[in-house]
Chains A and B, each alone.
Chain A
Amino acid sequence: MTEVKPYQVEGVTGGWEVVIGMEVHAQVLSQAKLFSGAATAFGAEPNSQVSLVDAAMPGMLPVINEYCVKQAVRTGLGLDATINHYSVFDRKNYFYPDLPAGYQISQYTQPIVGKGKIVLDLPDGSSRTIGITRLHLEQDAGKSVHDQHPDHSYVDLNRSGIALMEIVSEPDLRSPEEAGLYLRKLRTILRYIGSCDGNMDEGSMRADVNVSVRRVGAKFGTRCEIKNVNSIRYVQQAVAYEARRQVDLIENGGKVVQETRLFDASKGVTREMRSKEDAHDYRYFPDPDLLPLELDPHWVEDLKSTLPELPDAKKARYVADLGLSPYDASVLVAEKEAAAYYEAVAKGRDAKFAANWVMGDLFGLLNKAGLDITKTPVGPDQLGSLIDLIKNGTISGRIAKEVFEEMFASGEDPAAIVEAKGLKQVTDTGAIERVIDEVVAGNADKVAEYRSGKEKLFGFFVGQVMKASQGKANPALVNEILKKKLTA
């Protein structure tokens, strides 16, 4: 195994290490908002999914959604984190047109979830643990639309008040790739838990990325926060760009100033936010409309005992019980649905063989067709039957690839395809002998060469026989008979 070189930004004065911390906003998959009964569905008419509370009408009061609390706790458990049985909702005060109350209800000094961790599965099969600082619940803001009118912005409060989990990592990430792996792994965990759908394109998962650079082993440098990056690819681009920018700045005698930046995806650059005004002073204080959130430890224990098997545990099981390589196992567990598919195929079958089929042929075709596993035209039972046909010698591995493509295109069962197309392996020794005889007769010169010691030609004869039998001849029988005939 080749050693992976740590990621560094090469400057004129030497190498620089990139330090990345991530704040991910994950929308809780709930029907109603965190503090009101309005719906959370995506893409409705402006201001149609807004209650009087979300619009901060005078005299309106928040009442918390129990389900959102439950999902935050389950997510915390999924991150192997401390659950705080006493947490507090604070008001974060600032003015913005899409923040109706003039404050966001969030959690500041006493969040619902404390320290935890996420394990990254690196391509070389090793893993790296990234610390989670905290997870807290907060409200989303509304949306300002700036492109409808030259001098006006339009405000839609449909998102206002939707529950978000802000998940903050330690500054443990060291490369754009790790940043990407972190987001993928976090998304995997959220999806296993079912607390967030992780759809970055619909904004239900967004990342604020903190980037700084330093000499290896030196103190942390000054960081910049890149706000609201909405795809994993953009996060990686933004980190790479920002690290380079900071290195260039420092090497040219400049100083990194702590600031908030935006990632401009069309240009692939980060830029300073123009609306940045006086230093923010959010004047956090406990929301007097709410009481401290106290969790019953038994309730938390119950949630813990009913969590689904999570990707790390699943991966470990695949390695230990099914004999898969750590890398294959991590690929298979990356999506909950893929893992479930794989397990259905592997059940009672050769697990490694099943893994090769799922990761190779199935993922290959899905990828080509742009489908995800939930849309697969080949069900796990069907793939399982195909594997059974190979294993019981009905078809050869080569034919099986053809059959699988046909299954993928038509959704038909493998047995039906094999039957209809007459792809069954020929195991009749008489029939195989006849074909071999023809091949031997038609290639007298090559037979002579073989017999005079050019044994490499054996493969040529196998190929000719298979070709003549349209691939259906049982390879083992072909080998056996051919050897006999050629040495005769």
Chain B
Amino acid sequence: MALDNAAVRKIARLARIEVTEAEVEHYAKELNAILGWIEQLSEVKTDNIAPMSRVVDMKLPMRKDIVSDGGKQADIIVNAPETAAGYFVVPKVVE
């Protein structure tokens, strides 16, 4: 499953990472090397093996339906690069 430049560009777009043409070449080589190494997993027989679904043997804990958080607008936006009137501000999104 060798990755070509188009595939690298597509992955970079999905991951929202800007890549230059030179980087695309570089990534293609590097990712192919890593994926080639990972390929050895196909040697392992995994028929009828359930994928690991939890690391610790316990049940999903649940909380009660109680309002115990919020009311801290200042804390929520204090680290934001840009805010206005309590909102986060981003470049215009077109729907």
A, B in one complex? yes
Which residues from chain A sit less than 8 Å from chain B, CB to CB?
A: 30-32, 36-39, 45-53, 55, 63-69, 88, 95-97, 144-146, 148-157, 262, 273-275, 278, 281, 283, 286, 290-294
Task: Give the shortest distance, in Å, between A266 (CB) and chain B (any CB).
Answer: 15
Which residues from chain B sit less than 8 Å from chain A, CB to CB?
A: 10, 13-14, 16, 53-54, 58-73, 75-77, 84-95
Chain B neighbourhood of A149, CB < 8 A? 84, 89, 92
User: Assuming A45-B86, A48-B73, is B91 touching A151 (CB within 8 A)?
Assistant: yes
User: Assuming A37-B70, A47-B76, is B93 touching A286 (CB within 8 A)?
Assistant: no
B66 near A31 (CB under 8 angstroms)? yes
* CB-contact partner of B76 in A157, A278, A293, under 8 A: A157
Chain A neighbourhood of B61, CB < 8 A? 63-64
Chain A neighbourhood of B94, CB < 8 A? 146, 274-275
B69 near A152 (CB under 8 angstroms)? no
B87 near A32 (CB under 8 angstroms)? no
CA A156 to CA B88, docked complex, whole Å: 7
CA A144 to CA B64, docked complex, whole Å: 29
Q: Is the interface of B mostly helix, strand, loop or mixed?
A: loop
B67 near A32 (CB under 8 angstroms)? yes
* CB-contact partner of A47 in B53, B54, B73, B90, under 8 A: B73
* Nearest 3 Cβ contacts at the A-B interface: A67-B65, A37-B68, A38-B70
B90 near A68 (CB under 8 angstroms)? no
CA A286 to CA B52, docked complex, whole Å: 10
A144 near B93 (CB under 8 angstroms)? yes
CA A8 to CA B13, docked complex, whole Å: 43
B13 near A291 (CB under 8 angstroms)? no
14 further A-B contacts with Cβ under 8 Å, apart from A150-B92, A154-B87, A155-B89, are A32-B65, A32-B66, A39-B67, A46-B73, A48-B86, A50-B73, A63-B61, A66-B63, A68-B65, A97-B88, A146-B93, A149-B92, A274-B95, A291-B54
